[in-house]
Amino acid sequence: MRAGARRAATLTGAGIRRVRTLLGDIVWFACLLAATALLLGAVLVVLDANTRNALVAAVLRAADWADLGVFSRTAGVKQFSGDNAVVKNTVTNWGLGAVAWLVVGRVGRRILTPRS
């Protein structure tokens, strides 16, 4: 193999590693944002925040999107009844959803990022 071709192959390999590292970081950041939205939403529900506030409404909408319906506060994995059922459902389901997003993000980043 000529020196120029060897150098081009090396540069291409380095470029691919950089792209894979960047993709891994993007996946991790997106999953971290989803987990953060769920946790902030749960805190706002626990604090009984004013849902007419634009910021509170935006966080709750983001959390409703991030729960993917699987960890919904109204029809999620675990449903409570009785006193404070809404708060219990929200904390349990959105907490589980946040953990799931963090696990998916770590696994996705590990798969995408090349080993040194």
pLDDT, tens digit (0-9, with 9 covering 90-100), for 4-25: 656 655 667 788 889 999 999 9
Residue 112 reports pLDDT greater than 90: yes
Average pLDDT over all residues of the chain: 89
Q: Note down the domain range covering 56.
A: 3-112
Question: Chain centroid to CA 98: how far?
Answer: 7
Contact 90, 17 (CB under 8 A): no
Task: Give me the number of domains the chain comprises.
Answer: 1
Sign of CA dihedral 48, 54, 57, 63: negative
Cα separation, 31 vs 44, whole angstroms: 20
Q: Which amino acid is at 112?
A: L
Percent of the chain at pLDDT > 70 equals 90
Q: How much of the chain exceeds pLDDT 90, in percent? A: 60
Give the pLDDT score at 72.
84
User: Model pTM?
Assistant: 0.82
pLDDT band at 1 (very low <50, low <70, confident <90, very high): low
